Structure 1
Amino acid sequence: MMKRYLHTVLAAGCVSLLMLASCKKDETKLVADPANAKGGTLAASASTLVLTKATETTTAVTFTVTQPSFGYPAAPTNTLQLDVSGDNFAAPKEVVLAAKAGSVVYTGLDFNALALSLNMKTGVAAPMQVRVKSQISTAVAPVYSNVVTVTVTPYPLISYVYVPGAYQGWNPATADSLKSATGNGVYTGIINFVGTDLTYKITTAKNWNTAYGDAGSGAVSTTASSNLTAPAVGNTQLVLDENKNTLTMKAYQISIIGDGALGWDAGDDIDMTFNNGTQTWSGTATLKASGSIKFRLNHAWDTSYGGANGVASTTAGNIAIPADGKYLVTFSEATLTYTLTKQ
């Protein structure tokens, strides 16, 4: 009887062990494999783009993307990186792609804006490098696609806003302008405010249909009724950012100074006039070959430019005068060039 009982107990134990064994399930973990992660692939529909205003609404280029591999199914963030050739993506322009997007399409206008944002010269063919950065988290290093090179010739995309105010009779049709060289919504210019009334507004055209007023704390709005006010009489640099609806203002005067003109002392500056259309400063001065000159900002030495052979620099020496006489002098901070034209 005891033997039979033991047999029954042993049998039951075996059944229990079998049940435990059959119920146990190994846990499967999905773990990224950074060592074997691979970037996706990138292809461009064109390798050479000559962009023009006439074709700005048509498709210029399509980039086709395949997804990267991190060793398990993942939803990476893919970012298109664009940079000029030779910069090695040190500070690329980045465009985050839609989730699982297989392609991205650019019109001529949009891709031209990207090229200009990389400071590519208009009318000049130059290589642009493009790749895709893919990342699943900040804890895992990103992977990159192959690099595609596209030769791009951008065109100028210039837009303007206007600054009517008391300084010129509140007439938008004749008001000076602020300029956006790339059409990116950021407008810069220098306005010479005169008189005792320094109020003004900024219009998007040479009329009063749409005008920016003062919304307070450096903000502007097309619904604000209050006028904007310059900080002081004289040349003032205005920077309007339509993307952020902000406006910054600061005094900005370039002058000629040196013993090739009136001298190096305070009060010897010869103020120049700014042209918002050409983005250049100009002025006439009687110059002496026995001396030299520099250009400086706001009658101070914090920012000054010397130069030689028409090329200006903040690190260059004084500018030599070729001969005594009256000169038309021009200077461009945008291109760091100057001219001395004898009259």
Structure 2
Amino acid sequence: MRKITKIALLSCVLLAGCEKEDKTTVDTSAATLTTQLSATKVVLEEANASKEALTLTFTPNLGSVDTPLKYQAVFSYGSKTETKLFTSKKVTYTVAELNRIARTLKLPVGQAADVKIATTLLVGDSYATKGTSENTISINSYQTLISPSIWGVVGSAAPNGWDGPDASMWNIDNNLVAFTTLKTGKIKFRSNNKWDENYGGSGGKLAKNGADIDVTVTGKVRITMNLSSLTYKIEKYSWGIIGNGAKGWGDTDDIAMTYNGQLDQWEATNVELNNGEIKFRLNNSWGTNYGYVSDGVLKSGAGNIPVKAGTYDISFSFDEKEGTGTYEITKK
């Protein structure tokens, strides 16, 4: 009985200590934040991609309080936002980094556009939001256009036959890749639309000046070529828009999309949409599909994307390894 009493008393002491510690709080009611921008107007040029474009300097006012601080910056343009979290009081963006934000926000290319930057002080381990500072910056951004490689696909199975011009191949993840349409026949790979340097082969293996490659996979395809391993692959490959917000959810209701290599995205123009939902899926099948996370943001296998009736241009891009992507639905 005596032992029980001692344990009970010890518990009370420990609990009292904990309660006392819980009551120790940091008063942040008067916390303020001032954020200074190094510029209020920037013109971004791709030639200066590595140079500094903008610096944010955070000045918190917490008196003598010693507590962990973080800073949140929200860039916004229309309904688009980009959020970043920092622990440093000074953050510098290069031209390339700021232009990436501009592209995420869908700023017009080559035109000045006002972007709001709302910065917030996050106080303590619980990150209580205190002191918001708002600024506006004019950003004139650029669009990076990707150039095709010197390699292309030519042959009786290719869209333009043996005379070309060859179907373009793009540098993607250390491979040369073409998205095109093939028919029954033969193909080869050549550089600069000439026969000076070319590859043929069979069974997925390449050979310099090798035999014509027999095409057994027809229709919309992805052709992958690797000059380091001397291999190639031809596979069925097409992206489409599916859903009751488009033509329907049926097996053949997909609206075909076209690859834009310069922007590395899939596109469909003048698409008639209804009030409803859509998704993007590969090869008219549900094995690989991308859906809604938030406006403009996609994830592999996520939910349906809500849409409203009208005529739209639709674009979609994704990171195959990460299973994430973005989309844009622009009303005509």
TM superposition score normalised by structure 1: 0.49
Contact 1:172 1:208 in 2 (8 A): no
Give the superposition deviation at 1:246: 0.3
Alignment of 1:179 with 2:170, yes or no, is yes
Matches within 5 A, 1:55-66: none
Aligned partner of 1:298 in structure 2 is 283
Summarize the Cα distance change of 1:159–1:233 in structure 2 as closer, same or farther, 3 Å threshold: closer
What is the CA-CA distance between 1:241 and the residue it aligns to? 0.9
What residue identity is the alignment partner of 1:164? V
Q: Which has the higher strand share?
A: 2
What is the CA distance between 1:256 and its match in structure 2?
0.6
Residues 326 and 313 of structure 1, relative CA distance in 2, 3 Å threshold? same
Q: In percent, how many aligned pairs have the same letter?
A: 29
Asked if residue 213 in structure 1 is aligned to residue 195 in structure 2, the reply is: no
- TM-score normalised per structure 2: 0.51
Assess, with a 3 A threshold, how the Cα gap between structure 1 residues 271 and 158 changes in structure 2: closer, same or farther.
Answer: closer
Correspondences of 1:1-343 after superposition (within 5 Å)? 123-124=96-97, 159-166=149-156, 167-170=158-161, 174-181=165-172, 184=174, 186-194=175-183, 197-214=184-201, 216-224=202-210, 226-284=211-269, 285-289=271-275, 291-307=276-292, 308-321=294-307, 323-334=308-319, 336-343=325-332
1:23 is matched with none
Cα deviation, 1:84-127, whole Å, max 9, x if unaligned, reads xxxxxxxxxxxxxxxxxxxxxxxxxxxxxxxxxxxxx99459xx
* Contact 1:161/1:205 (<8 A) preserved: yes
| 1:261 aligned counterpart, secondary structure | coil
Against the structure 1 CA distance between its residues 173 and 198, is the aligned structure 2 distance closer, same or farther, given a 3 Å change threshold?
closer
CA–CA distance in structure 2, aligned partners of residues 302 and 255 of structure 1:
13
1:339 counterpart letter in structure 2: E
**Residue identity matched to 1:162:** G
Paired residue type of 2:166: A
Matched residue SS, 1:262 = coil
In the alignment of these two chains, the number of paired residues is 189
Q: CA deviation at 1:171?
A: 5.3
Taking the aligned partners of 2:239 and 2:250, their CA distance within structure 1 comes to 16
> Residue deviations 1:254-297, cap 9 Å, x none?
111000011112111111122333322111321012x1000001
What is the alpha-carbon distance in structure 2 between the residues aligned to residue 265 and residue 312 of structure 1? Answer: 22
| Unpaired stretches in structure 1, ≥5 consecutive residues | 1-51, 54-120, 126-155
The residue type equivalent to 1:174 in the other structure is P
Unaligned runs of 5+ in 2: 1-45, 48-93, 99-145
- In structure 2, what is the Cα distance between the partners aligned to 1:277 and 1:193? 21
Deviations 1:204-239 (A, max 9, x none): 22211111111x321011121x21233332111111
In structure 2, distance between residues paired with 1:210 and 1:327: 43
The 8 Å contact of residues 231 and 250 in structure 1, kept in 2 or not, is answered as no
SS at match of 1:281: strand
Secondary structure of 1:206's aligned partner:
coil
Any conservation in 2 of the 1:158–1:181 contact (CA below 8 Å)?
no
Aligned-pair distance for 1:251? 0.3
CA distance in 2, matches of 1:198, 1:286: 36
Q: Secondary structure at the match of 2:233?
A: strand
Deviation at 1:202, TM superposition (A): 0.8
